[in-house]
Amino acid sequence: MILVTTGSTMPFDSLVAAIDEAVNRAEITEKVICQIGNGGYQPQHCEHFRFQESIDPLIDEASLVITHGGTGTVTDLIKREKRFIAVANPMGADNHQVEFLAKLATISNFIWTDEPTSVVALLKKSEKIKPSGLLTPSLFDDLKTYISA
């Protein structure tokens, strides 16, 4: 199962639509569940929900997580050593998700993009990525402290 998560603060309709269309075209054949949050786009070809108390069981079950570039979700996936593709949401203030993902990718092993329509092309590449925690483990705590400040 592939889990797509958009987070709870900003809609990310372009990501959900890109995945939904890929499922419709059979470019993705695995079961897909989308957490769409406050988004306006409701997938027609994937299971979806807006919010639930915890998505941890879905993350555990997923073979791949396709996520927005939010710090909380991304750092959680790295800590879990879960295979994922992060997609920077352009609705974020000052394009901070692009900066965050670009820097973080230098110290951890994951794939990211700032273009939702490129996710399907990255699926094959993601199969070859071995999930890992941070290459500098103590940096995780420093990063968490910095983000919380």
98-126 residue pLDDT tens = 998 998 888 888 999 999 999 999 998 99
pLDDT for residue 138: 60
What residues have CB less than 8 Å from 119, skipping those under 6 apart? 15, 18, 19, 22, 66, 85, 87, 113
- Superfamily of structural domain 2-148: Glycogen Phosphorylase B; (3.40.50.2000)
Mean pLDDT of 66-71: 94
Length of the chain: 149
pLDDT for residue 95: 78
Query: What residue type is 137 in one-letter code?
Result: P
Considering the entire predicted model, what is its pTM?
0.88
- From residue 47, give the alpha-carbon distance in Å to each of 35, 42, 43, 112: 9, 9, 7, 23
pLDDT for residue 9: 87
pLDDT at 1 over 70: yes
pLDDT for residue 96: 84
